Amino acid sequence: MEGGASTARGPFVGRPAVGPRPLAAPRLPRGRAGLLKAASARTRTRRRLAERVAGAGLLAATTVSVLTTAGIIAVLAFETLAFFRAVPLRDFLTDTQWTPLFADKHFGIAVLAAGTFLTSAIALGVALPVGLLAAVFLSEIATPRIRQVLKPLLEVLAGVPTVVYGYFALLFVTPLLASFLPSISGFNALSAGLVMGVMIIPLVASLSEDALYAVPQSLRDGAYALGATRVQVSLRVVVPAALSGIVASFLLAVSRAVGETMIVAIAAGQSPRLTLNPLVPIETMTAYIVQVSLGDTPAGTLEFRTIFAVGMTLFLMTFALNALSHRLVARFRQRYE
């Protein structure tokens, strides 16, 4: 057509061709739309209910832990107060003898504390350096293949029962030490402390390795760019950066050593004496608790209440160590962007 655009025609003459019309959104019947809204509301209700149930379960688990701790403290406090009604606190802290099961009774906790300190110090002297060096090697120096082999072997030590460690110290380590130290006794603090240190090595190594892994790779790359060797990067950059986690692992190892029972009860002996000589028999706080708990001491007597006084002392020691660990971790923690 002249003077305008030509008009295409469809199959019917005189009716212009048009394109396909857009499909209209289907309309749901009113009844079905209501059902969908109701289903959505039920889904939201079930979700809120599930969240409330999960929150209630988590709160219950936390409450059980708190109530259990409170119950333990209450029992310890009740029996300890009953003990101190008969024994002056001054004698408990200053007496240099511990003979509550003898006719001549003395209640000097310093005797058991000295034995606990001696075995724990020997154990930490073994576990802390060896565990830290093992963590540095596994984290920074070992190849992935070597790490896959050595780490499971190291963690096997954590799965050995403490009774087995105790008899290992008594029947193997003590005769071995006797060949070098003829004056050593059959029961002694040295073999118990050494074996206890071996037992704690996986704890220190695992926690320290986790702290070393948390150090950003950028610190290592920067040290390598300055020309540092792998050992220098590990000991002078990575270890100081992970100091908070390493300190936490050390203090947790201290708590573990102080609370160890079976190794010292079997290998260290049950001779309460105020000494720091590792070659003679001693008695720790946990070993004394085992001795009285065997059933020979009548319940409710003063001798029986001594285990609660000792347990409260041990609890206060471990609580102080945990509080110190939190403070040191907060002090040495470093944040990286």
Question: pLDDT (tens digit, 0 to 9) for every residue of the chain, 337 residues total?
Answer: 444 444 444 444 444 545 555 555 455 455 565 666 667 777 878 888 888 888 888 999 889 989 998 998 998 899 999 999 888 989 898 888 888 888 888 898 999 999 999 999 999 999 999 999 999 998 888 888 888 888 888 888 888 889 999 999 999 999 999 998 888 988 999 999 999 999 999 999 988 888 888 888 888 888 888 888 888 888 888 888 888 888 888 888 888 888 888 899 999 988 888 888 999 999 999 999 988 887 777 878 888 889 999 999 999 988 888 888 777 777 766 554 4
Tokens for 20, please give them: 């396909």
DSSP state letter for 107: B
Q: Give the pLDDT of residue 28.
A: 45
Length of the chain: 337
Rounded to whole angstroms, the Cα distance separating 235 from 217 reads 15
Residue 306 phi, psi (nearest 5): -65, -30
90-332 CATH, one of 1.10.3720.10, 2.40.30.160, 3.30.200.20, 3.30.365.10: 1.10.3720.10
CA dihedral 247, 252, 258, 263 (to 10 degrees): -120
Cβ atoms within 10 Å, residue 161: 9
Rounded to whole angstroms, the Cα distance separating 86 from 66 reads 31
Q: Give the pLDDT of residue 104.
A: 85
Q: Give the pLDDT of residue 195.
A: 94
Rounded to whole angstroms, the Cα distance separating 147 from 306 reads 47
Q: Give the pLDDT of residue 229.
A: 85
3-state helix, strand, coil in the chain (%, to 5): 70, 0, 30
Q: How far is CA 95 from CA 73, 105, 106, 169, 258, in A?
A: 25, 11, 7, 31, 21
Domain boundaries, the chain: 40-86, 90-332
Count of alpha carbons within 13 Å of 205, Cβ hemisphere only? 28
Q: Give the pLDDT of residue 333.
A: 62
Residues with Cβ < 8 Å from 45, sequence gap 6 or more?
A: none
Report the DSSP beta bridge partners of residue 107. Answer: 98
Residue 173 backbone class (left: φ over 0; alpha: ψ -120 to 50; beta: rest): alpha
Amino acid symbol at 11:
P
Nearest to 205 by CA among 158, 159, 255: 158
Tokens for 251, please give them: 């203090």
